[in-house]
Structure 1
């Protein structure tokens, strides 16, 4: 089975405290349905570096593409998504800044998330606390899957959250958003506010912040819907 709209390319962008391996379930489901899926490996060193890594993968696509970002990856796709091959955006438990905003600003006015614990080293790079990882990041994962996500995480330069987005692709491209009702990284009101501001079609799932990995069926369905509708979606 393939996409009925002719969009068969999907690029997946991971977020902070993660790497591309968490997308395996989504990758498998989409490739089984005829999609060509590429996974970006963000260096997590700066917004500029992560956007550049994403653009390199977009340059390799052979036609219209759905660009998908999880968590910090939402900021990355917001900047990188103006690429001419991007037909639509999918935000998975993701940050959705506007042009002129940095990611830190998106938290203002929303509830804190005490279960999401970040340990920052002297070099300014942060890891999600290992003892709190499953509870804060992947509460709906099995112990084994949560341990793998924990152990494969990549530290992020915490300065990236203060780096300003220069352009917001969602102002030009149709958007979709999917997030878990048990997300402990972001306040639910924050997730909904960002998605609604972007005019995204919203789907919620009974999942954690790691919904990109733990709710792969639902996330894949949203991506398929984006591929089928990006060409006709009204901004």
Structure 2
């Protein structure tokens, strides 16, 4: 049996290149890999773009979402080609929740004090925003994060879709214990609620950039579980 494919779904202030430290290794290990690219304009649009990406790889698929990408994979993962879900420091709303309402149940993190809303989009503040998002990266890497950060529509986190994939599909979850963007207690709550196989990393919000080997290990475990079926 060929190895499962891996599809990535990025969060806000990012695009598919945030998985750059994972993709070459997974491809070298024999996986087909794609990172969905979408506009952070609407949840439906982002989910639809991710599902279109499924057509570029072979099934079964391990679907990996970071941050807001957890909302994307929660809905896109309903597609029958998806066999497993991996959440990285991610939100994971239930049917009655949005990305925003889920976060409001927990203490606000530092990033909310370090954003600007302009032209209908939400931007990281220069100087203070990136350390709340990716504080364990080198100064040079943080500069790249800021220069390339992709601002979401200001209403994105208030939008909701039907279909909750983590209720029916096996899930893995990486908790970033030093996260200053998505509250680590929220992460622990959603990982427990979905019954995920959980790994905790001493990491900022972007462990796929700061601790790629540890994140790769989790993805490998999910892929091995799919291949064993």
8 Å Cα contact 1:15-1:70 kept in structure 2: yes
Query: 119, 130, 135: which is aligned to 1:134?
Result: 130
More divergent stretch after superposition (150-159 vs 128-137): 128-137
8 Å Cα contact 1:101-1:165 kept in structure 2: no
Q: Does 1:191 align with 2:187?
A: yes
- After TM superposition, give the deviation of residue 232 of structure 1 in Å: 6.2
Query: 121, 145, 154: which is aligned to 2:141?
Result: 145
- After TM superposition, give the deviation of residue 112 of structure 1 in Å: 1.4
Size of the aligned set, in residue pairs, is 228
Alignment partners' CA distance in 2, 1:188 and 1:12 = 21
Alignment partners' CA distance in 2, 1:102 and 1:7 = 33
- After TM superposition, give the deviation of residue 231 of structure 1 in Å: 5.8
Alignment of 1:187-226 (within 5 A): 187-226=183-222
8 Å Cα contact 2:71-2:91 kept in structure 1: yes
TM-score by length of 2: 0.94
Q: Secondary structure at the match of 2:110?
A: coil
More divergent stretch after superposition (32-41 vs 128-137): 128-137
Alignment partners' CA distance in 2, 1:190 and 1:136 = 16
- After TM superposition, give the deviation of residue 46 of structure 1 in Å: 0.4
Q: Secondary structure at the match of 1:21?
A: helix
More divergent stretch after superposition (129-138 vs 141-150): 129-138
Alignment partners' CA distance in 1, 2:141 and 2:28 = 22
Query: 117, 120, 140: which is aligned to 1:120?
Result: 117
8 Å Cα contact 1:134-1:141 kept in structure 2: no
Q: Secondary structure at the match of 2:162?
A: coil
Cα deviations by residue, 1:146-186 (Å, 9 ceiling, x for unpaired): 11111111110021111113110111110000122111012
Alignment partners' CA distance in 1, 2:111 and 2:104 = 18
8 Å Cα contact 1:7-1:65 kept in structure 2: no
Q: Does 1:99 align with 2:101?
A: no
Query: What are structure 1's unaligned runs of at least 5 residues?
Result: none
- After TM superposition, give the deviation of residue 7 of structure 1 in Å: 3.5
Alignment partners' CA distance in 1, 2:51 and 2:21 = 23
Alignment partners' CA distance in 1, 2:25 and 2:202 = 19
8 Å Cα contact 2:4-2:227 kept in structure 1: no
Alignment partners' CA distance in 1, 2:209 and 2:10 = 10
Q: Does 1:42 align with 2:38?
A: yes
Alignment partners' CA distance in 2, 1:232 and 1:97 = 29
2:81 corresponds in structure 1 to: 85
1:12 corresponds in structure 2 to: 8
Q: Does 1:167 align with 2:160?
A: no
TM-score by length of 1: 0.92
Alignment partners' CA distance in 1, 2:149 and 2:79 = 28
- RMSD over aligned CA atoms reads 1.5
Query: 21, 28, 31: which is aligned to 2:27?
Result: 31
8 Å Cα contact 2:44-2:161 kept in structure 1: no
Cα deviations by residue, 1:32-74 (Å, 9 ceiling, x for unpaired): 2221110111210100110111011012222200000000100
8 Å Cα contact 2:120-2:154 kept in structure 1: yes
